[in-house]
Structure 1
């Protein structure tokens, strides 16, 4: 579908575009550094997100999990298969309907999660928190809280 200028909304101003580009560059750079460090230790940021989402519940359906971590069902399903093979996650049979698959984190998964969260937290402390004042860091949380709330109202998250 081609969107005409009138349907697409307003263009960013040059200063808004520059702020956006700075945000994207810094954000992608930060995620690249986190992913690189985590991968060197045997876990992706995506795996960490899935395990973190599972740690707070007894079990979760794949579709629900995918929605929570903002990934497609097929991507999460592939991750889960790998995490099951590694012993971090186990499948749970619930009822007789095999179409609805449920999973939960294992004790091994919790151990791996704890180890990797410490690595990730150290990175966040060094790369983000120590680079900002306490007020700037609080503002960062406030800003993304507003963005997340807006996306949630729109049904995006």
Structure 2
């Protein structure tokens, strides 16, 4: 296992490249299936990700929300405008600075989030959890926690 970053400029071996391609093919395939199912229910995965992030804390600034969901501020700003128009999110004033606005999920947004989480979770169960062992699923989570932790170490 390679955890050191000293080999950052080293080319991938054929085995490493084959594993990476399997990750990409499986990951994109899984996301495509989830996107298809979510679109059929009237919501994108990106919208759900924003609703989930808002549901965790209820009120967030756009910049904080964008960082949490790994999207640009402009993308999240446009996305929240659409969610506001749909009644799933509302804008609220920042008590200390009228120039800043926060967004929070509405009761309708919470219900939509829960409905769409159920659709997504059913797919995750069928396409991932039921196809691997409990240990493999645990390892998958550990691997992606490490990857996510390393993302904040990247230079801007």
Can you give the 5+ residue segments of structure 1 that lack an aligned partner in the other structure? 1-7
Measure how far apart 1:155 and its partner are: 6.7
Measure how far apart 1:96 and its partner are: 6.0
SS of residue paired to 2:152: helix
User: C-alpha distance in 1, partners of 2:36/2:58?
Assistant: 30
User: C-alpha distance in 2, partners of 1:65/1:145?
Assistant: 19
Instruction: Say which is worse superposed, 137-146 or 62-71, in terms of deviation.
Output: 137-146
Number of residue pairs matched by the alignment: 149
Match of 1:136 in 2: 136
Measure how far apart 1:101 and its partner are: 2.1
User: C-alpha distance in 1, partners of 2:58/2:34?
Assistant: 28
User: C-alpha distance in 2, partners of 1:46/1:99?
Assistant: 26
Q: Cα deviations across residues 36-85 of structure 1 (Å, max 9, x unaligned)?
A: 11011000000000000000113100010000000001110111001001
Measure how far apart 1:142 and its partner are: 1.2
Can you give the 5+ residue segments of structure 2 that lack an aligned partner in the other structure? 1-7
SS of residue paired to 1:92: strand
User: C-alpha distance in 2, partners of 1:15/1:82?
Assistant: 44
User: C-alpha distance in 1, partners of 2:98/2:13?
Assistant: 52
Aligned CA RMSD, in angstroms, stands at: 1.5
User: C-alpha distance in 1, partners of 2:137/2:103?
Assistant: 35
SS of residue paired to 2:57: coil
User: C-alpha distance in 2, partners of 1:128/1:112?
Assistant: 23
Q: Does 1:57 align with 2:52?
A: no
Q: Does 1:78 align with 2:78?
A: yes
The 1:155–1:68 alpha-carbon spacing in structure 2 relative to 1, beyond 3 Å, is farther
Match of 1:4 in 2: none
